[in-house]
Amino acid sequence: MNNVVVRRPTTQVRVHALDGGRVVERPDRLVTEEPMEIRVHGPGQDPMPLAVTMRTPGADFELAVGFCITEGIVTSPDAVARVAYCVEGGEQRYNVVTVRLREPVSLDGHERSFAANASCGLCGKAALEQVEVQCAPVDDDVRVDGSTILELPQRLREAQQVFDVTGGLHAAALFHHDGELMALREDVGRHNALDKLVGYAALERRLPLRAHVVLVSGRVSFEIVQKAAVAGIPVLCAVSAPSSLAVQAATRLGQTVVGFVRPGRFNVYSHAQRVDVAR
């Protein structure tokens, strides 16, 4: 299941830049955004289109597996038999990923009516009934020191290699509850970055992610909360704000949401018992 990166995460361009009162032409690098189709099938089944997402190339297999897990298509990493690029995709062969499962799969209730935009996953849902993903509440009594949470944004930022070049993409980082960085994934889409992280954990047989903390570089949406809950993540942090529906979902799913993690401060919006703060 080696995830061979064929497409580059950045694209070189030339720009006309205003610099010191004069216009200069110089090279620049943009974060790459390309469509990726995810297909899935079980034994004796033909590959079925599941979704098209706009993503940054890299960790494509993790993205496909993570998406299948957080959308409820795959209930266990052990169900994944093989992940591969479509060899008959022609020019788009490295933009089509097929996930083969060990058991037959049904996509009833999971059909998507159109491509999912990189910045929004819910816009690809075909019906309102598909918005809520069913998963058990997060049952984890881990406690995280407040001082550890305050250090996470800097550790995430130091590990963002593609962001250093382009300045134009999101990140999701997985930490042990003591603050050790376990993995980081970047993508033009917030949801994709988290799906890549979940896919990594699935392929490494690390799910559920008990005693772990995830930090996302943007805001926390309802769907980000659900994806994290499916992966068993007890503490979800962000440098920006959560939405009202995200906090409601986290409260219901037993998940701690921490927002506005900035130097010296943060807000805990749900299940604050997991955060130790010196008084």
Quickly name the fold that domain 144-276 has: Cytidine Deaminase; domain 2 (3.40.140)
CB within 8 Å of 168: residues ≥ 6 apart: 30, 31, 188
Q: Do domains 34-130 and 144-276 have the same CATH topology?
A: no
**What is the b/e burial string over 7-44, where b = at least 16 CB atoms within 10 angstroms of the residue's CB?**
eebbeeeeeeeeeeeeeeeeeebbbbbbebbbbbbbee
- Domain ranges in the chain are 34-130, 144-276
Task: Say what the pLDDT of residue 116 is.
Answer: 53
For residue 242, what are its two tokens?
A: 């959560």
159 by Cβ neighbours in 10 Å (0-12 / 13-18 / 19+) ranks as middle
Distance CA 49, CA 65 (A): 14
Contact at 8 Å (CB) between 35 and 54? yes
Please name the residues in contact with 233: beta carbons below 8 A apart, sequence gap of 6 or more.
138, 208, 209, 212, 213, 214, 255
pLDDT of residue 28: 83
Question: What pLDDT is attached to residue 128?
Answer: 42
User: Among this protein's residues, is 120 annotated catalytic?
Assistant: yes
Which residues fall within 8 angstroms of residue 221, CB to CB, at 6 or more apart?
Answer: 190, 242, 243, 245, 246
Eight-state DSSP code of residue 37: E
State which residues of the chain have pLDDT below 50: 1-6, 113-115, 117-119, 122-123, 126-129
And the tokens for 253? 């799913």
Give me the catalytic one of 68, 86, 120, 135: 120
pLDDT at 279: 55
Q: Indicate the average pLDDT of the chain.
A: 86
pLDDT at 1: 45
**b/e per residue 215-238 (b: at least 16 CB within 10 A):** bbbbbbbbbbbbbbbbbbbbbbbb
pLDDT of residue 132: 63
Calculate helix-pair angle for 190-203, 60-70, nearest 10 degrees. Answer: 90
Number of neighbouring beta carbons within 10 Å of residue 49 = 13
User: Which H or E run contains 237?
Assistant: strand 235-238
C-alpha triplet 226, 227, 233: angle, nearest 5°: 95
pLDDT per residue over 121-156, tens digit each? 544 554 444 556 778 899 999 999 999 999 999 999
Q: Look at domain 34-130 and name its CATH class.
A: alpha beta
